[in-house]
Amino acid sequence: MKKLLALIMALVMMILPVIPAYAEEDETPEPITLTVFRGDPGDQPAEDNKIYKLIEEKFGVTFEFEFLAGDLDETLGLKIAGEDYPDLFDGGNSADLIISNGALINLLDYVNPEDTPRLWAHIEPQKARLIDKDEDGNDALYIIPNYGLADGPQIVNSVGGPAFFIQKQVLEWAGYPEIHTLNEYFDVIEEFLEENPEDENGTPYVGFDILCEDWRHFCLINPVQHLMGRPNDGEVLVDVDSDDFYTETFIDKPYAKPYYQKLNEEFHKGLISKDTFVMNYDQYIAQLSSGTVLGMFDQAWDFGTATSALMDAEMYKNTYVALGLVYDPEYVDGKEIEEHYVNGSLPNVRRGFGISVNCECPERIVAMWEEMLSDEWQMIFNWGIEGEDYYIDEDGRCQMTEEQYANTLDTNWKLHNKAEAFFQSSPKKQGWIMNDIEVGDKVVKEGNCWEPGNQDEIVFGLMNEYDQEFLANYGYSKFADFVNPPIEIAPSGEAWQIDYTPVDIDHQDFLDIQDRCLPELIMCEPDEFDDLWDAFVEEITPSATVFGEFMWERIQEEAAKVLDNE
């Protein structure tokens, strides 16, 4: 009888919501709905989504999602003006706006080694980078990073960040050439277009797209730093080999001019259309999803929905390869530049969910995050339900059948079976699984990867035949082989994560001038380019100087803070 009672109690405990760390032992949470804002476009999850059902059963929590529609800064500005803050607030690439305007609580009031040991262990190794000072000089943590707090050595099977992308069919048509410089890149696109102006449906190909909308104008602005051999530091170039981490804006320097002059040349050859400068993000994604855009500079995560659409349609030849291009020596006084597009792994500072000051139950959310950082919940978020979405083999390795893997690439399936809208902005484990995990009556052995997309058996064993053959023709085993290994960046981390608020007016002026002038430079008559470039440099120099000097000073300060705490 005692054994039966114990069994019944165990079953009851499995379906009860978790008791928050701050609740009395005999309390259980009341059902609540959390309002959520994501600073990116997205799709509403299906009502029957199985992971959200599990969250509701376990934690008593449901979500009401709002995704970005329109301009990010304008949307956040309206929310700030009306203090219309959701419970969970992801400000995307403008998170500093909501932090500086007091929209988020200090998570250190709730996160500590005693009450939230998992969360604390998660952030503790990177405290020097993550913890800010509030206006009174007290330690403050507003956002636990959504990405970048990974365990074990960095995994790089593909390029998830910035690159010059090119459709695989272009390289296949050209006989699988090695493409390393800006001229080689545009030459192969030009040659392909000359013989293949339209796709099989009679739709004209677009040679090169440039997304300019809102904060995604990095597609227009950032390439110069990469062509100069540096990874992504946003709008500045950081000399990591100098003792003082010398930092400068690059867009106003002589070495920026050749890139935009090259784009001007390609525009007048017809590779770039005027429409690209007025296209919004949805139109851009639709064009990429159609398979008619041959190349662009972007970050892989930014057009992931287009990649998924192409994969769903089995248009593998129209998916993209990330190339790490550098300037041809003729553009930089004969200098040979070494490519470094991939950064070493560091946290995504101030990116992810914060809890707003309007939230009435911050302790509930923190307690939920604490439980969700357990191995069991991380397996659910990353891999799904064992036996349904993946299986564990006799060696303790997580595996997928071809059908299960195909599901993970299906946009509609994910709306029913993944909790991406919540999980993408939440604290999470990444990298290597460092200990054995019990899943039902099976054991996931250490050495697996948290993310299925990094698991060797998935990346290579279930790769479609087209991609396998494509890589084989290059003698590569993974798509990251097209670029060099990760490079060390400044101790301060990626410079784009620094809060620009103290020079916000100059920084905005700096960006506005680029947004207005760079498209004009690309479209102007070639014989007007030099004069317009000189006028651009003259106009932008004042704000560039203020912003560049500010960034240099802050990078030195942040680097010193990190080095002092190591």
| Residue-level pLDDT at 39 | 94
Tokens in use for 68? 């970005």
For the chain, the domains span 17-153+347-383+418-432, 162-341+464-561
**Are the CB atoms for 563 and 544 separated by under 8 Å?**
no
Instruction: Specify the fold of 162-341+464-561.
Output: D-Maltodextrin-Binding Protein; domain 2 (3.40.190)
CA distance 169 to 297: 17
Q: Do domains 17-153+347-383+418-432 and 162-341+464-561 have the same CATH topology?
A: yes
Token reading at 403: 């059908």
DSSP summary character for residue 227: H
Cα(413)–Cα(410) distance, integer angstroms? 5
Please, where are the H alpha helices in 142-181?
A: 168-173
Cα gap 560→422, rounded to integer Å: 35
pLDDT for position 104 = 98
Check residue 16 and give its pLDDT.
36
pLDDT digits (tens, 9 = 90+) for 110-133: 999 999 999 999 999 999 889 988
> pLDDT by residue (tens digit) across 461-519?
889 999 999 999 999 989 999 999 998 888 888 999 898 889 999 999 999 999 999 99
pTM of the model: 0.85
pLDDT at 28: 58
**How far apart are alpha carbons 38 and 551 in whole angstroms?**
28
3-state secondary structure of 334: coil
Give the three-class secondary structure for 324. coil
The segments of the chain whose pLDDT lies below 70 read 1-28, 566
Is 261 exposed, middle or buried, given 0-12, 13-18 or 19+ CB atoms closer than 10 A?
A: middle
Per DSSP (E only), the strands in 154-302 are 162-167, 236-238, 247-249, 295-299
- Count CB atoms within 10 A of the CB of residue 453: 16
pLDDT score for 10:
42
CATH 3.10.129.10 fits 17-153+347-383+418-432, yes or no: no
Query: How many Å apart are CA 185 and CA 167, to the nearest integer?
Result: 11
Residue 25 CA to its chain's centroid (Å): 39
